[in-house]
Amino acid sequence: MSIILIEGFDHYASVTNLSLVWTINSTSLATLSAGRFAGQCLRHSANSQRLTSRSIPGTNTLTLGVAIRFEDPENVSGNHPFIAFLTAASGAQFRIGLNTSGQVFIQLGTSTILATSAEAGPVFAVGVWYYLEIEAFVHDTTGFVRVYRDGVLLVEAANQDTRGQAGSDLVELIRFIGNNGGGTSDGPNIVSIDDMYVLDDSTRLGQCRVSTLLPNADTADADWTPLGAGNHFAEVDDDNGDTSYIASATATDLDMFEAQDLSFTPQTVHAVQVTFRARKDDAATREVRAKVRSDAATANGATRTLTSSYLYYHDVFEEDPDTAGPWTGAAVAAMEIGVETVT
């Protein structure tokens, strides 16, 4: 089992920056608003179709966990999907949606309803955050999809055809849909999402929270050059591109930082993700990798070949490199994060 996506939306300075990671069909009414537990969430609203999509490594077995809030769940005139699990070509394997009674359904492709929640609708109250977890196996005979709301099974399709696309059993794209049909009652129109994870396994983690910890102090490893003459961390504790940065053109240059403390005591730490945004400013090949240090042990992220435009890079560390076991809150509090120039 691997965690292949973590998203909390807290570190983006703007929807423009967010759209470097997510594909948004219209950013005009997408906003970064107050999140489920402080921080930010993505809120999409309109009375025309809104599609927010994120690519994932292809897998036929997965779990999506996401906090979701509908501000108008009753605004449905038919069977309207709000999450779609797609191939890279945007072909739907299966979708999760709401019907006119406010019940949740599981849909094969874009047509056949495989199962509908037994609970009388509406299953989502207006303006309330819920945590959904969707476990799935894409197969043409023994597939399954299970939808949990706040840890309780809401609806399940088991031992069924869950492969909506002939010739492929992969999910390579997850799409959140606001207003599927484009009309004023083809909603829900106003949907917010936060605290997301995706696994390449069909065993859910339980309700999760993504906490974004920004650099807040330099360490002895400070080889990169800050834009200003002050602390290095102050140049990378925001998302401001060319107005605030550190730079390096020398292989093995290393900048490590202390990070903010968690604002709560976690029951479990499933992973640490290091995220950075970077570009190069010359024609040479430039490679950078993220690093995380716990006590004296260091783990490296994937080597990233930079382009001349800013892109975000994410590396998930599921194990504490000091213990080769799960992270703890204390280990997270003491860790250091940073970047290293490879070439």
Which is more confidently placed, 203 or 189?
203
Q: Give the separation between CA 52 and CA 32, rounded to whole angstroms.
A: 13
Tens digit of each residue's pLDDT (9 = 90 or more) over 292-305: 999 999 999 999 99
pTM of the model as a whole = 0.95
**pLDDT of res. 163:** 98
Q: How confident is the model over 238-246, as a mean pLDDT? A: 95
Give the residue carrying structure tokens 């970047």.
339
Residue type, 66: V
Residue type, 323: T
Question: DSSP letter at 238?
Answer: S
Residues 6 or more apart whose Cβ sits within 8 Å of residue 83: 64, 66, 95, 96, 97, 132, 134, 174, 175, 176, 177
Question: DSSP letter at 120?
Answer: P
- Report the DSSP pairing between strands 254-259 and 297-300: unpaired
pLDDT band at 120 (very low <50, low <70, confident <90, very high): confident
Which is more confidently placed, 121 or 197?
197
Radius of gyration over alpha carbons of the chain, in Å? 21
pLDDT at 180 over 90: no
**pLDDT of res. 185:** 52
Closest CA to 94 of 185, 43, 155: 155
pLDDT at 38 over 70: yes
**pLDDT of res. 186:** 64
pLDDT at 243 over 60: yes
CB atoms within 10 A of CB 8: 24
Is-contact 248 223, C-beta < 8 A? Answer: yes
Q: Give the separation between CA 92 and CA 100, rounded to whole angstroms.
A: 22
pLDDT at 184 over 60: no
**pLDDT of res. 78:** 85
**pLDDT of res. 75:** 84
**pLDDT of res. 52:** 94
Q: Give the separation between CA 190 and CA 328, rounded to whole angstroms.
A: 36
User: Cα separations (Å) of 227 from 9, 47, 232, 244, 335?
Assistant: 26, 44, 8, 6, 25
pLDDT band at 187 (very low <50, low <70, confident <90, very high): low
Tens digit of each residue's pLDDT (9 = 90 or more) over 18-36: 999 999 998 888 999 999 9
- Could you tell me what percent of the chain has a pLDDT over 90? 87
Tens digit of each residue's pLDDT (9 = 90 or more) over 43-70: 998 777 789 999 999 999 999 999 999 9
Query: C-alpha dihedral over 71, 74, 80, 82, to 10 degrees?
Result: 20
Residue type, 314: H
**pLDDT of res. 293:** 98
Question: How many CA atoms lie less than 13 Å away from 98 in the CB half-sphere?
Answer: 29
Tens digit of each residue's pLDDT (9 = 90 or more) over 73-86: 988 888 899 999 99
